[in-house]
Structure 1
Amino acid sequence: MADALILPIGLVTAGLVAARLGVLTIAAWQQAAYRREQDQLTLEVMRERIAEAKKRRNENSLAWNGYRKFVVHRKVVEAEGVCSFYLVAHDHKSLPVYKPGQYLTFRLSIPGRDKPVIRCYSLSDCPRSDHYRVSIKRVGSPPDAPSAPPGLVSNYFHEQVTEGDILDVQAPRGHFFLETEHERPAVLIAGGVGVTPLLSMVNSIVAARSQREVFFFYGVRNGREHAFREVLNRVVAQHPNIRLVVAYSRPNQEDEKQEGRDYHHVGRVDVQLIKSYLQATNYQFYLCGPPTMMETLNKQLTRWGVAEQDIHSEAFGPATVSKAFTPPQAVAGGVSDQASTTTITFAKSGKTCVWKNAAGNLLDLAEANGVRIDSGCRAGNCGTCVVAVKSGQIQYVTEHGAELEEGTCLTCIAAPQGNVVLDA
């Protein structure tokens, strides 16, 4: 009887042991498979990082310091007063990849000027290894001052620069750009020739085959000034994730026949127009256009509830979206006006000037008092007006795109915080 019981118990025990071994074997196999999967993922991540590092190293090796010679390969009229210039490297070497929205800095020897003139112009296409493209609008005399001279450099480009000419160009730079690998919806808002960096952004999204949702609001005066019409219409026709809204502020008689096809709205691009297309504010906003347009839109978007860090704007000309400016504070308690006066000393020139907020920036103050400081873009981008700050503190009245050494400032967009001594 006992022997009869021992056999089944032994079989059960053996079965349990076998089952346990089976479970352990399966667990070990699963664990090994998991480790292999993790090792494979780690290997893939390492490969991606190595590839990215090589890409960055290659791009850095293609970048250059100072100025490089470029040949004007093509000159193309895009609209009334707007020309594109296709630039190829004179040494025929490949070009570094830039971020869509960045700009080039040009050094130009213009007849009648005793020194080179510096200007910055946005790149207007997606990055390419064989050429760069900038699109430049001819700047006329101000409407309220018709006797004033027109834009020096823009007119030089339109009238004097021809195919085959050689230009001095700095490498692409700038902090106003769109990261194409991100998927957060974007709103691009352009006024006039401010379309150029935003066109670079939308073309880069297309080139990356991204499905990122994009709303592109583009305001111009009329059809004659509507640059890149065919290009943008083709983009939206082929990419349903990109929506284009064009506004004409002053359409002419010919334009009235094209409403609904070439443009969708009569008036300016403002927050009411934008809100009629967007259901929420959770977008990244990129603005480039005339100063008044950007100032207005920046305030309107903020009041609508768009987070400040989600609004990106480009300095397009000597005036742009300004940060809240805090003037130097006078000491309270009955101190005399003389004691609270802020002075700017130009050490090399031996001049001391009284700062008034109406001066706007240190460069304008210097020029108004006969102190010569080299300048270029006058928008905080090219770095030409940089000077050393010997003592005192400054603040910037707008964001800048130049790389600066410690202890220096861009005088074209700088204002003092108390007494300042400049090495100028």
Structure 2
Amino acid sequence: MPTTYDVKLLQKKEVAEGTLEFTLEKPAGFEYRAGQYGDLVLPPSTGLDDSNNKHGFSFVSAPFEDTLRMATRMRDSRYKKAAAQVPEGTMVQLLALWGDFTLQKNETIPAVFIIGGIGITPVHSIIAQATHDKTNHKITLIYANRTRAQAAYTEDFERMAAENKNFTFVAVYTATQGHVNGELIKQHVPDIVTPRYYLSGPEGMVKAMRTLLIEIGADEDNIKTEEFDGY
């Protein structure tokens, strides 16, 4: 069963065009695995009620960090409009913990992340933790957005790629480069059969990438997915 925590909203900031990040207090003793998520419950002062005051977000922050961070693409839903207006310092609730979109423990198997848009949030946590822990996972991230301005955390990944010799970062901007295709994947992943694949992003993108990977020779049993609905 999930646990409810009362936490303070410490900061809100835009981390990409149309993407807002929330920094929360980390409850004492709170533990999670990189890639997991929780629900952010907004207070009654927002005018929302039990039918619309809750939304699930992956943790952008890594478990080693002292605060919790979540991020979302802003849309016209009542929840997201209300979340954008909640003042810093407000007490909110965190309902956690869920999710198994986590990095495999076997460090000898390469991990390939093919990610679209806001699907990057759990992946930021995973790669930041692996970099911090200096694991031996060989990680490749192919991260697709329409433009660089819309790509959250690009500078973080560039920094981690410079710091972590086992991490390769491939940014794809579809407005100028087109969508991720089999040729691009094989360019950066010469051995298609061996890796574990992690797909995260809008539902249509995740399904298309899963089909593409199987077509170019990936084992469907080695593909893990996380779909972000409503984005």
Q: TM-score, normalised by structure 2?
A: 0.90
Q: Does 1:189 find its partner at 2:123?
A: no
Partner Cα separation in structure 2 for residue 212 and residue 170 of structure 1? 31
Can you list the C-alpha shifts for 1:322-354, whole angstroms capped at 9, x where unaligned?
xxxxxxxxxxxxxxxxxxxxxxxxxxxxxxxxx
Computing the radius of gyration from Cα coordinates, the structure with the larger value is 1
Aligned to 1:99: 33
User: 1:173 maps to which residue?
Assistant: 98
Aligned length: 228
Distance 2:205 2:19 in 1: 20
Higher relative contact order (Cα pairs below 8 Å, separated by 6+ residues): 2
Give the distance between the partners of 2:205 and 2:2, measured in 1 at CA: 35
Matched ranges for 1:316-395 at <5 A: 316-317=228-229
Out of 99, 109, 117, the position equivalent to 2:53 is 117
In the TM superposition, what whole-angstrom CA distance separates every residue of 1:234-260 from its partner, at most 9, and x where no partner exists? Answer: 111122211111111115xxxxxxxxx
Instruction: Determine if contact 1:99/1:178 at 8 Å carries over to the other structure.
Output: no
Q: Which amino acid aligns with 1:210?
A: T
Question: Is 1:152–2:78 an aligned residue pair?
Answer: yes
For structure 1, which segment, 111-120 or 129-138, has the greater mean C-alpha deviation from structure 2 after superposition? 111-120
Aligned partner (choices 154, 158, 165) of residue 229 of structure 1:
154
Give the Å deviation of 1:175: 1.9
Which residue does 1:395 correspond to in 2? Answer: none
More strand by share: 2
Q: Measure, in 2, the Cα distance between the counterparts of 1:200 and 1:311.
A: 19
Corresponding residue SS for 2:13? strand
- Check whether the contact 1:95–1:128 (CA below 8 A) recurs between aligned residues: no
- Tell me the distance in 2 between the aligned counterparts of 1:287 and 1:212: 17
| TM-score of the two chains, using structure 1 as the length reference | 0.51
Equivalent in 260, 268, 273 of residue 184 of structure 2: 273
Change (3 A) 1:302 1:76: same
AA of the residue aligned to 1:76: K
The 2-side partners of 1:318 and 1:230 are apart by 26
Distance (whole Å) between structure 1 residues aligned to residue 108 and residue 130 of structure 2: 10
Cα offsets for 1:175-222 (capped at 9, x unmatched): 221135633110011111111111111111101101321111000111
- How much does 1:225 deviate? 0.6
Partner of residue 141, structure 2: 216
> Can you give the 5+ residue segments of structure 1 that lack an aligned partner in the other structure?
1-63, 140-149, 252-265, 320-424
Identity of aligned residues (%): 26
CA gap of 1:271–1:155, structure 2 versus 1, over 3 A, is farther
Which of 7, 14, 25 is equivalent to 1:77?
A: 14
The amino acid across from 2:162 in the alignment is A
Three-state SS of the structure 1 residue aligned to 2:168 is strand
| Contact residue 271 and residue 297 of structure 1 kept, 8 A | no
1:88 paired to 2:22: no
Give 1:93 deviation, angstroms.
2.0
Q: Provide the alpha-carbon RMSD of the alignment.
A: 2.1
